[in-house]
């Protein structure tokens, strides 16, 4: 049921295959997504209502969650869970508040010449909160908090509807406690299209962020010329790295965290220790058997295809594999976890030590759980306040600064063959 692979036995093709994720090749999804996008573009609300019934199996009558639905969510949600969401929001806000820049910075580049940056919020953003394989108020919190802190004036959550045509209660509570007023009942590729084009009910957004299935990822790629799709956040993935100093059973426990998200996830235990690999393999069958369906099935499929236990010949090769994979989540299970930080540079999130499982980071530690996947960590970081801000360059030159900069600008304009550029200096 669980793949066990000895890395040294693989050829170059086999090693490259280990790096594949479910969204590596989306060719099979594009043809299925295109007609959905076109229907939303041309039909608007009618298409969304039809897809809610056909795809989500939901009897949606209103696309926007009503105040009555928010009130009902607060009234019916377990008060203990509401308190947990409130406390988690406190941690998430505390972490993200330090990411806010000042409204403008100016530096004197030369005497009398000032340059800097001005930060203003993006006018409208869509926050995608998946629900296909469960409910995710945690994603609601993680996307909402930085958007609200950035000061985005028009924030809307898009999430698939429940079978009765409503919205998951915890998602509504988390949205309202985070400061978001608008929640739309739309998911999948149709939600991305609605955010990109707008409909009779839904206001067009400038940007959409949040994780999603390969259908969502495919829609984002197809619509990237119509809406900013942010960092690449697809199905969940993790590497659990155990250097051999902590029990293999602990690694096995944490390997299941991301694997239970769905059959399109990826999850690897990477270790140079044969003992750790053996301990993990011995523990996994019982741990998997104890899971309820459908999670047991998800884990079984992931660990037999895009995951399992990977025995490395040494620490150096483990570091190289982790950097090549560039995982969304990386746990370093070690009694000296900070010793491994130097060689590891390509990961969206690094969690250190026996008491920092992905679970804590996903829900309540504070760092964002919307992270780049499929190798996106090589060029992207976690979702942050900066993802909801735009930066504008600002310059101001006085008469004193002019005497320093003008001759330089004129000389470069003349060399590059721009007479109007040079004339604006020479003839001023």
Are the C-beta atoms of 168 and 390 separated by less than 8 Å?
Answer: no
Residue 164 CA to chain centroid, in angstroms? Answer: 28
- DSSP letters, 83-109, are HHHHHHHHHHHHHHHTTPPPSEEEEEE
Task: Please tell me the predicted confidence (pLDDT) of residue 133.
Answer: 67
Domains assigned to the chain: 4-19+235-366 (3.40.50.1980), 27-222 (3.40.50.1980), 398-426 (no CATH)
Q: What is the 3-state secondary structure (H, E, C) of 228-261?
A: ECCCCCCCCEEEEEECCCCCHHHHHHHHHHHHCC
Q: Is 67 a catalytic residue?
A: no
Instruction: Please count the other Cβ atoms lying within 10 Å of the Cβ belonging to residue 266.
Output: 30
In the set 23, 328, 331, 349, the catalytic residue is: 328
Residue 104 CA to chain centroid, in angstroms? Answer: 28
Single out the residue of 403, 328, 318, 410 nearest to residue 362, CA to CA: 328
Q: Is 421 a catalytic residue?
A: no
SS3 267: strand
Total-model pTM: 0.94
Q: Pairing between strand 104-110 and 329-333? A: unpaired
In the set 23, 261, 279, 329, the catalytic residue is: 329
Radius of gyration in angstroms for the set of CA atoms belonging to the chain, rounded to a whole number? 25
Give pLDDT tens digits along the chain (428 positions). Answer: 899 999 999 999 999 999 999 888 899 999 999 999 999 999 999 999 999 999 999 999 999 999 999 999 999 999 999 999 999 999 999 999 999 999 999 999 999 999 999 999 999 999 999 987 678 999 999 999 999 999 999 999 999 999 999 999 999 999 999 999 999 999 999 999 999 999 999 999 999 999 999 999 999 999 999 999 999 999 999 999 999 999 999 999 999 999 999 999 999 999 999 999 999 999 999 999 999 999 999 999 999 999 999 999 999 999 999 999 999 999 999 999 999 999 999 999 999 999 999 999 999 999 999 999 999 999 999 999 999 999 999 999 999 999 999 999 999 999 999 999 999 999 99
């Amino acid at each position: 049921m669980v793949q066990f692979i000895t890395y040294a036995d693989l050829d170059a093709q086999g090693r490259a295959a280990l790096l594949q994720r479910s969204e590596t090749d989306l060719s099979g999804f594009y043809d299925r997504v295109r007609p959905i996008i076109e229907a939303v573009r041309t039909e608007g609300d009618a298409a969304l209502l039809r897809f809610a019934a056909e795809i989500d199996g939901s009897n949606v009558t209103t696309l926007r969650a009503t105040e009555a639905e928010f009130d009902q969510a607060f009234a019916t949600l377990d008060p203990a869970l509401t308190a947990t969401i409130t406390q988690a929001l406190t941690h998430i806000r505390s972490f993200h508040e330090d990411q806010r820049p000042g409204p403008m910075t100016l530096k004197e580049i030369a005497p009398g010449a000032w340059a800097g940056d001005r930060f203003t919020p993006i006018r409208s953003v869509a926050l995608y909160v998946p629900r296909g394989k469960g409910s995710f108020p945690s994603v609601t919190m993680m996307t909402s908090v930085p958007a609200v802190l950035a000061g985005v004036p028009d924030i809307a959550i898009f999430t698939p509807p429940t079978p009765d045509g409503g919205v998951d209660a915890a998602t509504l509570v988390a949205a309202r406690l985070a400061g978001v007023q608008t929640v739309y009942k739309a998911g999948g590729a149709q939600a991305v299209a609605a955010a990109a084009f707008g409909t009779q009910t839904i206001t067009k957004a400038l940007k959409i962020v949040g994780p999603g299935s390969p259908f969502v990822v495919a829609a984002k790629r197809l619509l990237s010329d119509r809406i900013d799709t942010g960092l690449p956040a697809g199905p969940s993935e993790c590497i659990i790295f155990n250097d051999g100093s902590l029990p293999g059973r602990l690694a096995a426990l944490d390997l299941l965290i991301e694997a239970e998200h769905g059959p399109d996830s990826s999850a690897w235990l990477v270790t140079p220790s044969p003992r750790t690999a053996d301990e993990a393999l011995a523990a996994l069958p019982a741990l998997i058997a104890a899971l309820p369906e459908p999670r047991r099935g998800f884990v079984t499929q992931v660990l037999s295809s895009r995951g399992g236990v990977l025995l490395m010949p040494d620490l150096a090769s483990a570091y190289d594999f982790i950097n090549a994979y560039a995982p969304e989540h990386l746990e370093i299970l070690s009694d000296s976890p900070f010793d491994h930080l130097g060689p590891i540079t390509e990961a969206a999130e690094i969690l250190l030590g026996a008491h920092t499982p992905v679970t804590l980071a996903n829900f309540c530690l504070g760092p964002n759980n919307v992270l780049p996947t499929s190798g996106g960590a090589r060029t992207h970081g976690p979702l942050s306040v900066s993802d909801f801000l735009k930066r504008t360059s600002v310059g101001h030159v006085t008469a004193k600064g002019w005497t320093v900069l003008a001759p330089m600008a004129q000389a470069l304009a003349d060399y590059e063959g721009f007479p109007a550029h040079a004339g604006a200096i020479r003839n001023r």
